[in-house]
Amino acid sequence: MATQQHRYFRLRNACNIQKFRDKHMPAKGSPNLETLLQHPDVKQATSNINTELRERRAFIPPACDAFAGRYTRLEACPDYQFEIDQDARRQLPGIIHNQVQAVKCYPAADEKFVEAYQSKRKIGVVFSGGPAPGGHNVIAGLFDAMQKANPASSLYGFWLGPDGIIENEVVELTAELVDEYRNLGGFTMIKTGRTKIDTAEKMSLSRETCKSLGLDALVVVGGDDSNTNAAFLAQEMLDDGVQVIGVPKTIDGDIQVRDANGAVLCSMSFGFHSAARGFAQNISNLCTDASSDIKYWHICKVMGRVASHLALEVALQTHANITLIGEDLADYVDKRRIAAAAKEGTIDYTAYGMTLRHLSRVICDGIVRRAAVGKNYGVLVIPEGVLEFINEIQTFIIKLSTIIADYNDTHDIDFHKTFPALEEKLEYLRRLQQLSGENGGLPIWNARDNDLFSDIPEFFQEGLLTERDSHGNFQFSLVQTDKILMGLVRDYLDILKEKGLYKVGIERKYFAKVMTAGGLDPARIGPVLFSDYQDGPYLLMKKSIFSIKTLTQTLVKAGIIKAEDGVPAAVMKIYIKSMPKFKTQRHFYGYDGRGSHPTRFDCNYTYNLGLTVFSLIANGATGQMAAIKNLEKEFSHWEPVGIPIAPLMRLEERKGKLSLVLEKSVVELDSVAFQVVKSFREQWLAAEPGADNYRRPGPIRFTGNSEEDRPLTLVLNALADE
């Protein structure tokens, strides 16, 4: 039969091929590919330009009310106050007294103002750090505002990030080039890079470039480190009259600004919404896959470096079964250990914060509880920076970062160049431990560190010793956090399985059906096999039954079979179903979401950031970061502002030293968004009979009424101010 069918298909294919040949190939038989390639359908199918691209390029984002007129002016807002760091005061004297400035429409501009506003300018712009959807629209907004004020002005893009400034690699951004990238993702137009302008030499080269190009202003589109660069450049070029304006970019969402009284000035960096929506769409697809195929736990690591903002938004968007929030783990207190220590009159400091082992237990608990109701599948979301919040690992990260930075400082060669192989690095650490033992004092790497570190699997040791980025940051994206955690989870699940505590619940109806079909009485067999036969729609096999041997013994003891009989097939079927296999698929969501096209929210946000940048420049500001206030509200409430960067700077450990950087914001545990996620944890874990509670956000749609207009985190957090 199969052969006959096969023959039929071959014949049918041959007929189709002949029909195609008759139509497209000349009689002699050679294909007229040239003609075919000219066919409009082929041309359209193979073109780089599709409807989505055309629609995106044509879209003109709405502008905030402040930009409705020809001119804007800045209004100082002294009510916003900041706690200023002494080092920032010392290192950035020229811009430390900047205030928040509101950008306002200026219909009654006088002649002098108009002349200054409309003066012919040269502006340079640079992308710095990882790409974030919306960057091109910052340029588009800036370009449009600049052209509106004076069409003779010119905009230059520094090529490949801050290196472009240092090495004077620049391209003029023409209307054609800007139009090509409107509303599109990535930083493709001028590329990006992670170089930090952190030495006197790099600073003076940058200054030289700005002077030689005759720039009036430099715009730095970047994250915390890049806005730090912007502040130092602003200070450096104050006397040259080169204004420097920062723009809050990063998918991580960790640039959020409040003043000392908690008033929100910038509730989210751009790119966050698009990346989170990109991740959420993929992860929600996995929720559908998991609940269809019911055999995998999908383990999804999501980007976000340290802060868990992206994971939190993904939880809200998808209702994945378990979402870890790093900040929450750091806050954990083991009350039992505290009480036990208190009884002995001591304090157990290790009870504060969660250990990796404990975290793996928490995950196992969710997995086991779901399995008990027949759901041996699910979706787990792990923020890539979760290790930063695990005390024991954070200590290693800090110690190793300091050791690497010290080595680089003392020897004139990079630690990783001297010790390329893991074993060489470990040998150096061992030597360091011996040396510090001999020298007395407080060693940075002691025998205990060595012992603990050697207990860690090799790939994780390698991860912790991985090269730091140019800012001295630990590169969480390069560490297989999910692999480490899931290794521990798997080990513990094996233990639970051996103890008979990890079982797949069997649906009561199904059990009855299988027994009856096998000629057995479910009411007789049920109480023998299950610990909870009297209640619930799902039945859990007794703890004591964990192998075919123990199953046989149980049946014999209950008089269901004789010792020499085999287990009845129907019972065996149920037994096999109740024994869980823990199968996982690991996924990393990061670079994909970072490279996605911007959502409509990010398109509008970034275009208005670009307009704000120009207003700040045209009004003479420097050392300010462009921002949009009230992002968490509807568009009609958005207000462009300039936020002073210097007062936001704090001392942080970088490359083993304390340096001034823009303060990062992490998930606040009393925020509405986190409290909502926490309250819904049980519901989304869905460890009870019935359907899961997944939410399907769908793809980034850009147009249409169903496109959401703001990140859910913002919508929820805004409720705190109502």
Q: Which residues contact 557 (CB under 8 A, 6 or more apart)?
A: none
Which residues partner with 629 through β-bridges?
Answer: 639
Residue 101 is inside which H or E element, if any? strand 101-105
Tell me how far, at minimum, the Cβ of 590 lies from ligand FBP, in Å.
6
Helix (H, G, I), strand (E, B) or coil at 383: strand
Contact of 217 with 243, CB cutoff 8 Å: yes
What is the distance between the alpha carbons of residues 517 and 571, in angstroms, rounded to a whole number? 11
The residue count for binding ligand FBP (CB under 6 A) is 14
Choice between 72 and 229, CB closer to ligand FBP: 229
Choice between 100 and 311, CB closer to ligand FBP: 311
Choice between 132 and 373, CB closer to ligand FBP: 132
Tell me how far, at minimum, the Cβ of 128 lies from ligand FBP, in Å.
7
Contact of 299 with 587, CB cutoff 8 Å: yes
Interface with ligand FBP (CB under 6 A), residue from 124, 134, 162, 223: 223
Choice between 226 and 433, CB closer to ligand FBP: 226
Tell me how far, at minimum, the Cβ of 166 lies from ligand FBP, in Å.
18
Closest CA to 361 of 502, 539, 544: 502
Choice between 485 and 571, CB closer to ligand FBP: 485
Stretch that binds ligand FBP, among 73-81, 246-254, 314-322, 418-426 (CB under 6 A): 246-254
Tell me how far, at minimum, the Cβ of 226 lies from ligand FBP, in Å.
7
Choice between 402 and 466, CB closer to ligand FBP: 466
Choice between 251 and 372, CB closer to ligand FBP: 251
Interface with ligand FBP (CB under 6 A), residue from 73, 96, 124, 130: 130
Stretch that binds ligand FBP, among 208-216, 247-255, 438-446, 644-652 (CB under 6 A): 247-255
What is the distance between the alpha carbons of residues 140 and 631, in angstroms, rounded to a whole number? 20
Alpha-carbon Rg for the chain in angstroms: 31
Tell me how far, at minimum, the Cβ of 126 lies from ligand FBP, in Å.
13
Contact of 531 with 542, CB cutoff 8 Å: yes
Tell me how far, at minimum, the Cβ of 620 lies from ligand FBP, in Å.
29
Interface with ligand FBP (CB under 6 A), residue from 66, 72, 73, 129: 129
Q: b/e for 126-159, b at 16 or more Cβ within 10 A? A: bbbbbbbbbbbbbbbbbbbbbbebeeebbbbbbb
Q: Tell me: does residue 594 bind ligand FBP (CB under 6 A).
A: yes
Stretch that binds ligand FBP, among 41-49, 244-252, 396-404, 697-705 (CB under 6 A): 244-252
Other CB atoms closer than 10 Å to residue 545's CB: what's the count? 23
Choice between 144 and 252, CB closer to ligand FBP: 252
Stretch that binds ligand FBP, among 148-156, 250-258, 392-400, 443-451 (CB under 6 A): 250-258
Tell me how far, at minimum, the Cβ of 706 lies from ligand FBP, in Å.
28
Stretch that binds ligand FBP, among 48-56, 61-69, 245-253, 599-607 (CB under 6 A): 245-253
Backbone dihedral region for residue 412 (phi beyond 0: left; psi -120 to 50: alpha; all else: beta): alpha
Choice between 223 and 526, CB closer to ligand FBP: 223
Stretch that binds ligand FBP, among 109-117, 129-137, 149-157, 628-636 (CB under 6 A): 129-137
> Mask of contacts with ligand FBP, 42-81, x by CB under 6 A?
----------------------------------------
Choice between 594 and 600, CB closer to ligand FBP: 594
What is the distance between the alpha carbons of residues 676 and 359, in angstroms, rounded to a whole number? 21
Interface with ligand FBP (CB under 6 A), residue from 117, 476, 502, 638: 476
Q: Please tell me the number of Cα atoms within 13 Å of 181 on its side-chain side.
A: 24
Contact of 126 with 219, CB cutoff 8 Å: yes
Tell me how far, at minimum, the Cβ of 661 lies from ligand FBP, in Å.
12
Helix (H, G, I), strand (E, B) or coil at 671: coil
Interface with ligand FBP (CB under 6 A), residue from 209, 250, 274, 604: 250
Q: Tell me: does residue 477 bind ligand FBP (CB under 6 A).
A: yes
Q: How far is CA 252 from the centre of its chain?
A: 5
Q: Tokens in use for 669?
A: 């545990």
Interface with ligand FBP (CB under 6 A), residue from 301, 305, 375, 600: 305
Q: Which residues contact 563 (CB under 8 A, 6 or more apart)?
A: 552, 556
Choice between 273 and 305, CB closer to ligand FBP: 305
Stretch that binds ligand FBP, among 205-213, 302-310, 329-337, 460-468 (CB under 6 A): 302-310
Distances (CA, A) of 279 to 312, 321, 383: 12, 15, 12
For ligand FBP, the nearest residue by Cβ is 129
Q: Tell me: does residue 251 bind ligand FBP (CB under 6 A).
A: yes
3-state helix, strand, coil in the chain (%, to 5): 50, 15, 40
Distances (CA, A) of 393 to 291, 353, 407, 579, 639: 34, 11, 21, 34, 42
Tell me how far, at minimum, the Cβ of 50 lies from ligand FBP, in Å.
27
Q: Tokens in use for 72?
A: 């804007």
Tell me how far, at minimum, the Cβ of 231 lies from ligand FBP, in Å.
16
Residues 388-427 that bind ligand FBP (CB under 6 A): none
The residue type of 656 is: G
Stretch that binds ligand FBP, among 85-93, 124-132, 203-211, 677-685 (CB under 6 A): 124-132
What is the distance between the alpha carbons of residues 667 and 613, in angstroms, rounded to a whole number? 28
Tell me how far, at minimum, the Cβ of 303 lies from ligand FBP, in Å.
4
Which parts of 558-694 fold into alpha helices (H)? 569-578, 591-594, 600-618, 672-679, 681-685
Choice between 164 and 374, CB closer to ligand FBP: 164
Contact of 131 with 249, CB cutoff 8 Å: no
Tell me how far, at minimum, the Cβ of 250 lies from ligand FBP, in Å.
3
Interface with ligand FBP (CB under 6 A), residue from 303, 363, 371, 539: 303
Catalytic residue among 163, 252, 259, 602: 252
Other CB atoms closer than 10 Å to residue 562's CB: what's the count? 8
Interface with ligand FBP (CB under 6 A), residue from 64, 132, 311, 429: 132
Contact of 122 with 216, CB cutoff 8 Å: yes
Catalytic residue list contains 252:
yes
Question: If 0-12 CB within 10 Å is exposed, 13-18 middle and 19+ buried, where does residue 51 land?
Answer: exposed
DSSP-derived secondary structure for 160-225: TTHHHHHTT-EEE--HHHHHHTTT--SSTTT--------SHHHHHHHHHHHHHHT-SEEEEEESHH
> Mask of contacts with ligand FBP, 359-388, x by CB under 6 A?
-------------------------x----
Stretch that binds ligand FBP, among 128-136, 343-351, 663-671, 698-706 (CB under 6 A): 128-136
Q: How far is CA 709 from the centre of its chain?
A: 20
Q: Which residues bind ligand FBP (CB under 6 A)?
A: 129-130, 132, 223, 250-252, 303-305, 384, 476-477, 594
Catalytic positions: 252
